[in-house]
Amino acid sequence: MPQCSHNVRIVYEQSHPNLTLPSGLIPSEGARGSDPKYTVPAIQHVSTNTYMMDSVPITQFLEATYPDPPVPLTSELGYEIETKGRAVVGRVFRISVMPRELNILLPRSQEFFRRTREASLGHPLEDLLDLKKEEASWDAMADDIRAVGELMRTHKDEGPFVLGARPSYTDFFIAGALQTARVVDEGVFQKIFKYVGYRDIYEACLPYMAKKD
């Protein structure tokens, strides 16, 4: 599945106000009283003219369509790692990654990103960039980050991935999160890359991230 032929199209937030979306792409239901939403990732599978959004249905479709080599999509260990990872790493990434995303966005996207995120936060993005508070947050979460990293090494004697010799959805979930941090800010990436488990999974997934276009 990871080697299937594909092209990537990047759409910046609000950078293409007149973007025409495919008629086959159905928006997800918004919260009560809100408009339906289009989200990323989204794919068009050309040969079957199939459109879909969101990681889970996309991976299920791709695994069913390209079953060789097989990629396990669910496991008890993987679910535990993903859940704890969101709670632990997600918290520090919210502090360190989100405010720095402005630096890689186009000007029109910056305005939209700032307006929507600051409305959610209730304060300017720059308030998250208090370096002393930022470091204190990482220090406070260090033991929990390390514990999740050790979970990733449960099957280290069988191979470099979460389940051993072959990658699973969870491995790509981890590597994707780290690569996002790296694209935004190398310093933030290094903060998480230094931990065992995270580093092992990221390096094992590098061959699957070779395609950049």
Tell whether the torsion through CA atoms of 75, 77, 83 and 89 is positive or negative: negative
Q: Give dist(CA 84, CA 97) in Å, integer.
A: 18
Among the listed residues 141, 205, 150, the one whose alpha carbon sits nearest the alpha carbon of residue 179: 205
pLDDT digit string (tens) for 7-25? 666 665 554 444 555 666 7
30 and 114 share a domain? no
Cα of 158 vs its chain's centroid, Å: 26
Q: Is 108 helix (H, G, I), strand (E, B) or coil?
A: helix
Regarding whether 111 and 65 lie in a shared domain, the answer is no
Range of the domain at 46: 1-69
What is the reported pLDDT for 44?
A: 86
φ/ψ of residue 187, rounded to 5 = -65, -40
Predicted TM-score of the model (pTM): 0.84
Predicted confidence (pLDDT) per residue in 71-120, tens digit? 999 999 999 999 999 999 999 999 999 999 999 999 888 999 999 999 99
| Domains in the chain, number | 2
- In the chain, what is the greatest distance between 2 CA atoms, to the nearest angstrom? 52
Q: Which residue has the tokens 């209730």?
A: 122
Same domain, 56 and 82: no
Contact 13, 105 (CB under 8 A): yes
* CA atoms of 165 and 6, how far apart (whole Å): 25
Residues 100 and 195 in one domain: yes
- Asked whether residue 97 falls in the same domain as residue 5, the answer is no
Q: Let me know whether 145 and 198 are in one domain.
A: yes
Using DSSP, state whether 28 is helix, strand or coil.
strand
Q: How far is CA 71 from CA 74, 163, 169, in A?
A: 9, 11, 7
Domain boundary residue among 39, 69, 99? 69
Dump pLDDT digits (tens) for 126-153. Answer: 999 999 999 999 999 999 999 999 999 9
Q: Indicate whether 98 and 166 sit together in one domain.
A: yes
If asked whether residues 26 and 85 sit together in one domain, one would say no
